[in-house]
Structure 1
Amino acid sequence: MDDTIPAGFEVVELEPKRVIDLWFEDGNVVIQAEDYQFCLFKSFLTTRSPIFADTFSIPQPEEAERINGCPVLRIHDSATDAAHFFKAIFDSETFLPPPTQTTFEKVAAILRLSTKYEVGYLRKRALAHLSSGYPTTLAAWRADDPGLNTATFPVLPSDALATINLAREVACPWVLPTALYDYVKSTGPSEIFSGTLQDGVLLQLSAADKRLCLEARETQREASKDLETFLTALIPEDCTSADGACLSSRLVWMRYLNKLRQDGFWLDPTEVWDHWDVFGTHVCTPCLLECEKKYEDARQAVWLSIPAMFNLPSWSELEAERRKALEEL
């Protein structure tokens, strides 16, 4: 089977290739995407897409290309996207709403084409899935508790670049802060500038997004310093350490974190620090609680600043836009 069509789709090796799962013998239109053909039903497509309805309303000349008496419509979409999209239309069980699990590839394909062909119910479903992986609250974004993690697909840093371009294309800006943040965190300046080779295809950001990401790298590095200030939290009155032991321990940790940052590693403000247990063995309980509170306050402040890093509206505005988009459809 050719690897340009999603796994699980059976293909007849003709030229062009026929996608058996979406080749209905009594279909009345053949749609071709790249080198793959789908024999489908006009009436089914027209009831779901005003774009297809308009296209099919145009009279075809007698000499127009036909296969088994069916007119052939060529679309300028990838075969992978078309396969996922048409499968979702003709077999709704293959793309159910959240919390049903899915894949990023399927969500991206269906969101892209449901937007292009104005299939409202599928766009809403795909937006809900994408939003589950890129939420607008810190608690949901970095949820360690599986009960709070609502993502319906694996959210991988390697998909961040594709997510950014997709969000720009289909107008869902509320996923951009976290996608951009993840991309910047895991990508060096040279790769941001030159793009990423993925499955033999060079993916690149727009020139404007490249500039944003290159500037945001330094902003994110500086933000990590804000989190380190938890080590300078006031010594509480009920500190139980003797001879300034807690203060001395904090200074040791501060030197350690400064060294990590100089070596290119820094605290990620969106993640819960995973060294509290060890840190707690070096300071008393009141100091530990005071440091944890200051760290969490700084973490929340950095989270609130992330949209502005990328010239985006505030989280509350983005969340309002998300709600409106899902309610309108």
Structure 2
Amino acid sequence: METNGTGLEIGVLNIEPKRVIDLWFEDGNVVIEAEDYQFCVFKSFLTTRSPIFKDTFSIPQPEDAERINGCPVLRIHDSATDAAHFFSAIFNSETFLPAPCPTTFEKVAAILRLATKYEVEYLRRRALDHLSSGYPTSLAQWREIEPPLATFSVLPSDALATINLAREVDCPWVLPAAFYDYCKFTGPAEIFRGTMQDGVLLALSDADKQLCLEAREAQREASKDIENFLTAPTLDDCAGAVCLESRLDWMRYLTKLRQDGCWLDPTEVWDHWDLFAEHVCEPCLHACQKKYEDARLAVWESIPGMFNLPSWVELEAERDVALKQV
């Protein structure tokens, strides 16, 4: 069996494989196997897009090398699902169009992972652009108040996979939002042991587990600090004692929620303003809203630092370089 430094193998098949019909071209000239699935595709497409495949196909094969319908067999050590998404994007571009066209997290992750591994740069940039839309560097974009909006459903359950993916493919600018989302919905015990998804245990590296355990407390403290919007200065035209008492009642309510394990998420727009407005005068309402928005922005700016990451400005610069020519 022939191998090369990329982890690709050309050789004997160990099990009866299944053909992927949509990616089995009758005039293809190479059969690629991932797990127990086979794809019959074209060398020329792969070699012009991937220097890794180009190097692999340049290795002379022995006369008795395994062939199917006269085509050499290439085994890759990737999941069949990832390979199907990846080859579909190469051989049928309509299956993975550039942003803002909608897609799925599974497809983005699969294509980004393999496009990085096999150095298919245009697909890597496209996948990075999609992933970046779901985990932006702007608070307004994160809350989907301003475009570009996410091209896929951003689910809390995908945050762990996103963190590991970002580490694997080197796109640190998505990490602050992904980390924040993960810590918001995940308790210390689950952070430590990992999460079962589709029968597979997903877990962070030990270093990232420690980051999350520490940052989770920082997020709780940030929530405590943001409650200070209720202490906005009393204005000269305030309605008086009734208004102040209402604010104190709201502060007691929010403090109780935090003590019970719930807290304000500074990345979200508070959804009780209409009710709050019924209990305070208009000048105080506007003062509290301004203080709240200022506090939200301050917390957002602090999120990268919670996870030992560069500032948003530095992360955005790195993103812009990576996405150039998308």
User: Scaled by the length of structure 1, what TM-score is found?
Assistant: 0.93
1:237 shift after superposition:
1.1
Q: Give deviations 1:59-100, integer Å, cap 9, x for gaps.
A: 001121111111111000000000000000000111110110
Name the CA distance, whole Å, in 2 between partners of 1:21 and 1:212: 43
Q: Give deviations 1:224-273, integer Å, cap 9, x for gaps.
A: 0111001111101111x24x111100110011000000000000010010
1:327 shift after superposition:
1.2
Instruction: Say which SS state the counterpart of residue 111 (structure 2) adopts.
Output: helix
1:26 shift after superposition:
1.0
Does the 8 Å contact 1:185/1:217 carry over to 2? yes
1:263 maps to 2:264: no
1:177-216 matched pairs, under 5 angstroms: 177-216=176-215
Q: Residue 168 of structure 1 aligns with which residue?
A: 167
- Displaced runs of 4+ in structure 1, greater than 3 A? none
Name the CA distance, whole Å, in 2 between partners of 1:267 and 1:274: 10
Name the CA distance, whole Å, in 2 between partners of 1:89 and 1:304: 38
1:127-166 matched pairs, under 5 angstroms: 127-143=128-144, 145=145, 148=147, 150-166=149-165
1:49 maps to 2:50: yes
1:290 maps to 2:270: no
Q: Give deviations 1:100-140, integer Å, cap 9, x for gaps.
A: 00000000000000000000110010000000001100000
Q: Which residue of 303, 310, 315 corresponds with 2:307?
A: 310
Q: Residue 28 of structure 2 aligns with which residue?
A: 27
Instruction: Say which SS state the counterpart of residue 327 (structure 1) adopts.
Output: coil
Name the CA distance, whole Å, in 2 between partners of 1:89 and 1:328: 18
Name the CA distance, whole Å, in 2 between partners of 1:282 and 1:218: 32
Q: How many positions carry a matched residue from both structures?
A: 312
1:149 shift after superposition:
5.4
Q: Residue 88 of structure 1 aligns with which residue?
A: 89
Q: Residue 300 of structure 1 aligns with which residue?
A: 297
1:104-123 matched pairs, under 5 angstroms: 104-123=105-124
Q: Residue 7 of structure 2 aligns with which residue?
A: none
Instruction: Say which SS state the counterpart of residue 190 (structure 2) adopts.
Output: helix
Q: Residue 273 of structure 1 aligns with which residue?
A: 270
Q: Is the alpha carbon distance of 1:328 and 1:93 closer, same or farther for their aligned partners in structure 2, counting shifts above 3 Å?
A: closer
What is the one-letter code of the residue matched to 1:156?
L
Instruction: Say which SS state the counterpart of residue 60 (structure 2) adopts.
Output: coil
Name the CA distance, whole Å, in 1 between partners of 2:311 and 2:237: 39
Name the CA distance, whole Å, in 2 between partners of 1:45 and 1:231: 60
1:208 shift after superposition:
0.5
User: Scaled by the length of structure 2, what TM-score is found?
Assistant: 0.94
What is the one-letter code of the residue matched to 1:93?
E
1:328 shift after superposition:
6.3
Q: Residue 10 of structure 1 aligns with which residue?
A: none
Name the CA distance, whole Å, in 1 between partners of 2:50 and 2:312: 32
1:52 shift after superposition:
0.2
What is the one-letter code of the residue matched to 2:126?
R
Name the CA distance, whole Å, in 1 between partners of 2:236 and 2:141: 35
Name the CA distance, whole Å, in 2 between partners of 1:179 and 1:217: 13
Q: Residue 16 of structure 1 aligns with which residue?
A: 17
1:124 maps to 2:125: yes
1:15 shift after superposition:
2.2
Name the CA distance, whole Å, in 1 between partners of 2:286 and 2:68: 73
Instruction: Say which SS state the counterpart of residue 30 (structure 1) adopts.
Output: strand
Name the CA distance, whole Å, in 1 between partners of 2:229 and 2:147: 26
Q: Is the alpha carbon distance of 1:84 and 1:200 closer, same or farther for their aligned partners in structure 2, counting shifts above 3 Å?
A: same
Q: Residue 253 of structure 1 aligns with which residue?
A: 250
Structure 2: runs of 5+ lacking an equivalent: 1-14
Q: Residue 6 of structure 1 aligns with which residue?
A: none
Name the CA distance, whole Å, in 2 between partners of 1:225 and 1:293: 17
Q: Give deviations 1:16-51, integer Å, cap 9, x for gaps.
A: 100000001111111000000001111111001000
Structure 1: runs of 5+ lacking an equivalent: 1-13
Q: Identity over aligned residues, as a percent?
A: 79
Does the 8 Å contact 1:141/1:149 carry over to 2? no
Give the alignment's Cα RMSD to 1 decimal: 1.1
1:148 shift after superposition:
3.3
Q: Residue 76 of structure 2 aligns with which residue?
A: 75
